[in-house]
Amino acid sequence: MRFTLVQYPAAIAQAAQAVNEIDHRIGELKQHITKLDGNAELVVAFDTNLKNDNQRKARRFEVLQVNLEYEQAMKSLNRLSTDRANAMAMLEQLRNEFSAMKVEMRLSIVDRLAGVESRELVGL
């Protein structure tokens, strides 16, 4: 969708705000995932049957795999990451269109000025 020159700054700001909102949601989700990771670490830390790091890592992995909340959070994080990439692409597109339109407007002004100067030279 192409905007007029004066509409682009608002559209760019709105697209940047959408990226910021997605970044905020990603941050919240990462905090939640960190909490779930911490809970898994607690389970592993107090399991006296685990004898070495490999067993602890395997048990932690196992604890997280059966946690449906963790699985859902990871899926949401992946979806939000894709949404963010798409929002960034839209933002860049708007910025590029705005830059291109500014160049087109400048060229139009130059063409008009060149036409006026040419007419003045031939006495019109």
- For 70-116, how does the pLDDT look when each residue is reduced to its tens digit (9 = 90+)? 999 999 999 999 999 999 999 999 999 999 999 999 988 888 888 77
pLDDT at 89: 98
The mean pLDDT value for 53-66 works out to 95
pLDDT at 121: 65
For residues 73-112, one letter each, b for 16 or more C-beta atoms within 10 angstroms of the residue's C-beta and e for the rest, the string is beeebeebeebbeebeebbeebeebbeebeeeeeeeeeee
The mean pLDDT value for 13-36 works out to 98
Residue keyed to tokens 């997280």: 64
Is there a contact between 33 and 73 (Cβ–Cβ < 8 Å)? yes
The mean pLDDT value for 31-35 works out to 98
For residues 6-38, one letter each, b for 16 or more C-beta atoms within 10 angstroms of the residue's C-beta and e for the rest, the string is eebeebbeebbebbeebeeebeebeebbeebee
Q: Answer whether residue 124 shows pLDDT above 60.
A: no
Q: Answer whether residue 119 shows pLDDT above 80.
A: no
